[in-house]
Amino acid sequence: MFIDLRIHSLNSGGVDSPLRIAEEAKRLGVRPGLCDGIAYEGVLSGIEVRAESRRKLVRALRSVEEKFDYVVVHGGDAGINRAATRDGRVDILAHPYRGRRDSGVDTVIARQAAKSGVAIEIDLWSIISARSFARVRQIQKVQRILMLSRKYGFDIVATSGAKSRYELRSQREAEAVLLSLGFTREEARHAMETVPGRILERRRLAKCELSQGVRLVED
């Protein structure tokens, strides 16, 4: 199943209610993660942290780390991209290429992401919605990130980046886009299923920590 961890409802800049998003995701066979900064009941709840500087990012992460199922950092700025991939409290660096002419990921960021376990997001909607030369540029950025991932071993996570139910994509559609970008089928499924699943499991285990070195084990 495609676990889509960056979807925005009307509570965070989208246009549809959480219920409509959840209903459409169910119809498509997608497990949705609402990145609204609200801890919902019965649905994956994440937050996309926006910060103007590294100091403000660190401060923001202190206050949100334990409240959500996963933590995303709004990328694009070079300093934020570097700070986010250096911080193990971050699960996903979203669209590091946003507003940039390059991919937003260099060898330093690639090494940091691999070491810290921070996944780099590929936002499918930014590619699908782009036109003409802008789409060519987006594809080049993604292919650069894919090349660096193969070389340095950091994880890529695929999301729809949806802000309405019409922008959601089924697993089959998302996989087709990734294959067209140069992903192998195994890499595509890793980005859609394995990596988001691993992020959620890591967070679940962290919440079970009773104290340093002691973990609650469930039968």
Whether residue 68 contacts residue 36, with contact meaning beta carbons closer than 8 Å, is answered with no
Tens digits of per-residue pLDDT, 144-197?
A: 999 999 999 999 999 999 999 999 999 999 999 999 999 999 999 999 999 999
Work out the number of other CB atoms within 10 angstroms of the CB of residue 157. Answer: 28
Tens digits of per-residue pLDDT, 38-86?
A: 999 999 999 999 999 999 999 999 888 678 999 999 999 999 999 999 9
**Do strands 214-215 and 92-94 pair parallel, antiparallel, or not at all (unpaired)?**
unpaired
Domains of the chain: 2-215 (3.20.20.140)
Q: What's this model's pTM, rounded to 2 decimal places?
A: 0.93
Q: How far apart are CA 169 and CA 177, in angstroms?
A: 10
Q: How confident is the model at residue 209 (pLDDT cuts 50, 70, 90)?
A: low
Coil, helix or strand at residue 200: helix
Tens digits of per-residue pLDDT, 113-124?
A: 999 999 999 999
